[in-house]
Amino acid sequence: MTRDIAQFAIGTSEDEISQQALAVMALSLMDWFAVAIAGKEQPATRIVSRIIQEEGGAAQSSILGSSTKYPARAAALVNGVSSHALDYDDTHFAYVGHPSTVIVPAVLALAEHHECTGQKFLDAALIGAESACLIGTWLGRRHYQAGFHQTATAGCLGSTLACARLLELDLEQTQHALGIASTRATGLKSQFGTMGKPYNAGVAAANAVESVLLAGYGFSSAGNALECEQGFSATHAGEEHQLGDLSERFRNNCLFESVQHKFHSCCHGIHASLEAFAQIMDDCRFSHEEIKRVSVSVNPRWMKVCDIKHPQTGLEAKFSYRFALAMLALGIDTAAPASFADEVCQSTELGEFADRVQVEPDAGHPDTATTVTIETHSGSIHNQYHDLENLPDLAIRTRKVRAKAESLIGETVVRQIWDSIQALPYTGIDQFMQDANCF
């Protein structure tokens, strides 16, 4: 696997990369900028920024929202924390993690430091994100269930591959870079709900940068680090799924194209139910008083993740089907991070609606799907199934990502960044960052 994925990452030619895949990467880049900018004043980001400012160092790469540059590793750390701080960044269900928050900060920092072209940056980010999805798939769900934060583990390895491609490491160096990354890659789910979660993402990005810089200078490591005896997989509950020919797989079924963007500022496990619920409410125009009961069928794995019955904080409300649906029913904007404030948990009105919501585990539903059933006081019953995997076409996804971004960071800034992203294939990263990091 180590050799195969290294070869895939550095050997895939530009011709093998589809315009559709690049367009999705561009969309994720817009989404990444929006959540990272919105996340830069979060406490976790502020504290990590403080450390980095105190360390200082060579002016290599930009931290979002700052005109001072820092070493690439440091910029990757801060921008990684910033883009995961709101838990609002993109998700890939096969990867079991969030690709862009670990891939983009690392590649962007190194691309800026090495004055790469925009196209080279985009290609590397896409191939790195695809690699992270492949490694996540290879490790499988057992790795996640064991307690490892796959965003950070598979993410660090994928991000390392993205950076290796960007800096044109050869195959041997790339394998060494993966070996170095493998002996650093970690991140625990037990840190969820604390600043440790976004920190995991930032650390993974920073480790990728350092691993690739070291390998580029001849640092050695065990070159078959993922699958060797007591290697990364063996020590981290990897399932080692067979993936077949990676290049062929990429050409026929680019995993990253089905990346999901969040349109509600809560746990991704709740999103399908919010979409299904919103669909019925849009179609039928019920007021919340008309609703007698809501039942939600979800894959059993979510019961331990986002079915907090009586949340006490805004953060807990993000992991509560009952409260998220109540917020939607009462017209509270679930897209706005600020909506998930501690006060919502004290609202009598929301609490009363939440008590009308029942969540049922049903193994017949995949992770990504939910059935919502609404029963009205008048006795009518309405069903809606929603599967996040049934992605709308790119135009609709683009419209939704832009609307989300505008609500987070304002229309003007979004237009500026969006235009810069569209110009990326024809410009250098230096120019891009001058245009996009100017708010």
Applying CB under 8 A, which residues contact its own copies?
43-44, 47-48, 50-51, 54-58, 71, 73-74, 146-149, 179-180, 182-191, 193-196, 199-200, 203, 210, 213-214, 217-222, 225, 228-232, 234-235
Check residue 289 and report its DSSP letter. G
Q: Which residue, 138 or 232, has its beta carbon nearer to its own copies?
A: 232
Task: Compute the least distance from the CB of residue 78 to its own copies, in Å.
Answer: 12
DSSP string, 1-70: -HHHHHHHHHH--GGGS-HHHHHHHHHHHHHHHHHHHHTTTSHHHHHHHHHHHHH-----EEPTT-SSEE
Q: Which residue, 126 or 205, has its beta carbon nearer to its own copies?
A: 205
Q: In whole angstroms, what is the distance from residue 395 CA to residue 407 CA?
A: 18
Task: Compute the least distance from the CB of residue 348 to its own copies, in Å.
Answer: 30
In this structure, the number of other CB atoms found within 10 A of the CB of residue 239 comes to: 12
Q: Which residue, 200 or 297, has its beta carbon nearer to its own copies?
A: 200
Residue with token string 């041997």: 172
Task: Compute the least distance from the CB of residue 235 to its own copies, in Å.
Answer: 4
Secondary structure (3-state) at 292: strand
Q: In whole angstroms, what is the distance from residue 301 CA to residue 249 CA?
A: 28
Task: Compute the least distance from the CB of residue 360 to its own copies, in Å.
Answer: 25
At residue 186's C-alpha, the angle toward residues 182 and 189, to 5°, is 150
Q: Which residue, 83 or 368, has its beta carbon nearer to its own copies?
A: 83
Q: In whole angstroms, what is the distance from residue 360 CA to residue 273 CA?
A: 12
Task: Compute the least distance from the CB of residue 190 to its own copies, in Å.
Answer: 4
Contact between 235 and 264 under an 8 Å Cβ cutoff? The reply is no
Q: Which residue, 236 or 262, has its beta carbon nearer to its own copies?
A: 236
Q: Which residue, 153 or 384, has its beta carbon nearer to its own copies?
A: 153
Q: In whole angstroms, what is the distance from residue 215 CA to residue 181 CA?
A: 10
Task: Compute the least distance from the CB of residue 111 to its own copies, in Å.
Answer: 17
Task: Compute the least distance from the CB of residue 213 to its own copies, in Å.
Answer: 5
Q: Which residue, 212 or 278, has its beta carbon nearer to its own copies?
A: 212
Q: Which residue, 22 or 203, has its beta carbon nearer to its own copies?
A: 203
Q: Which residue, 71 or 314, has its beta carbon nearer to its own copies?
A: 71
Task: Compute the least distance from the CB of residue 313 to its own copies, in Å.
Answer: 13
> Residue 305 belongs to what H/E stretch?
helix 303-306
Task: Compute the least distance from the CB of residue 379 to its own copies, in Å.
Answer: 44
Tokens of 20: 């559709």
DSSP string, 366-385: -TTEEEEEEEETTS-EEEEE
Secondary structure (3-state) at 340: coil
Query: What are the backbone angles phi and psi of residue 2, rounded to the nearest 5°?
Result: -55, -50
Convert 64-108 into a string of H (helix), E (strand) and C (coil).
Answer: CCCCCEECHHHHHHHHHHHHHCCCCCCEECCCCECCHHHHHHHHH
The region, left, alpha or beta by phi > 0 then psi within -120 to 50, assigned to residue 274 is alpha
Q: Which residue, 118 or 202, has its beta carbon nearer to its own copies?
A: 202
Task: Compute the least distance from the CB of residue 45 to its own copies, in Å.
Answer: 11
Chain mean position to CA 7:
25
